[in-house]
Amino acid sequence: MVVKCNTSEQRVTWTQNGEPEPMAEFVAKGQTLTILGLDLPAAGNYSCWAGTVLLDTTYVVVSGAREEGMNISCQAESYHGSFRCSWNGPRSAVFRARLTRSDGSLGKWVPAAGRHGWFSASFADPSFCPFAEELRPLQLHLEGLSDTSYLNFSIHFFIRDIASWPLPKSYFALLYRLQYELPNGTQVHRYVEGVEEMQLQDRMRRVRISCQDPYANAWSPWSAWKDVDAAQQHRLRAR
């Protein structure tokens, strides 16, 4: 790596973190400093001087692939495509994060909040549909900068894998057609959508049900008639 001193001076001296004998191996040639072996000791503040006059400074960090050491956790608490991710990192670091959504669009950089080496950021995927199968994973890209290292890595995941709510029974909301028979033999038809359980005021002898995909016109065959005992009166559950 080459660091340049922004000056017209031809003869300069260099220090690393204020020390005239840097820990890193380097070759100085006029206004340029070539740093050899970019490992952790090479990180720090490089300053060029003309005597006792400070001319320019450059801060050098070392790229560190710390993905295997990062504890990243994401949680979604609703069906609206919003979620929050948290991870650990160097206490001195600052992070930003960006989401590549399921439709392939790229989100804006979001600054991460940090405290005592733990960082977090909130995101939303407006293209997420809770009743549609996720065909493409989300990609979360993190960039961090500490006093010694530059951190850059990505993770892929599906919202269904980080959800903390009970998964929907189906990817598609069904319309139910309910038919029940009263004690006097009268048959009543009801249509139910978006619920699994409903309250009925009528007393009934037996019940049956069929369902329809909202994207298709055909109804499923009727289920077999089921007798309703006293304990089941007034409450039906769609299955």
Would you give per-residue pLDDT tens digits along the chain (239 residues)?
888 998 888 889 888 888 877 667 788 888 888 888 777 777 788 999 999 999 999 888 877 645 445 688 898 877 678 899 999 888 888 999 999 988 888 999 999 999 888 999 999 887 777 767 788 899 999 988 887 778 888 899 988 888 866 555 555 567 888 899 998 989 998 888 766 677 776 788 899 999 887 666 778 899 999 988 765 555 554 44
Cβ proximity of 134 and 163 under 8 Å: no
Is 57:14 a contact under the CB 8 Å cutoff?
A: no
What pLDDT shows up at residue 55? 93
Where does residue 148 fall: left (phi above 0), alpha (psi -120 to 50 degrees), or beta otherwise?
Answer: alpha
Neighbours of 59 (CB within 10 A): 13
Rounded CA-CA distance 87/68 in Å is: 12
- Residue carrying structure tokens 């599906």: 158
Confidence at residue 134, expressed as pLDDT on a 0 to 100 scale:
81
Cα angle vertex 212, ends 181, 180, to 5°?
Answer: 5
pLDDT of residue 67: 47
- d(CA 179, CA 188) in angstroms, rounded, equals 6
- The model carries a pTM of 0.54
Rounded CA separation 4/16 (Å): 14
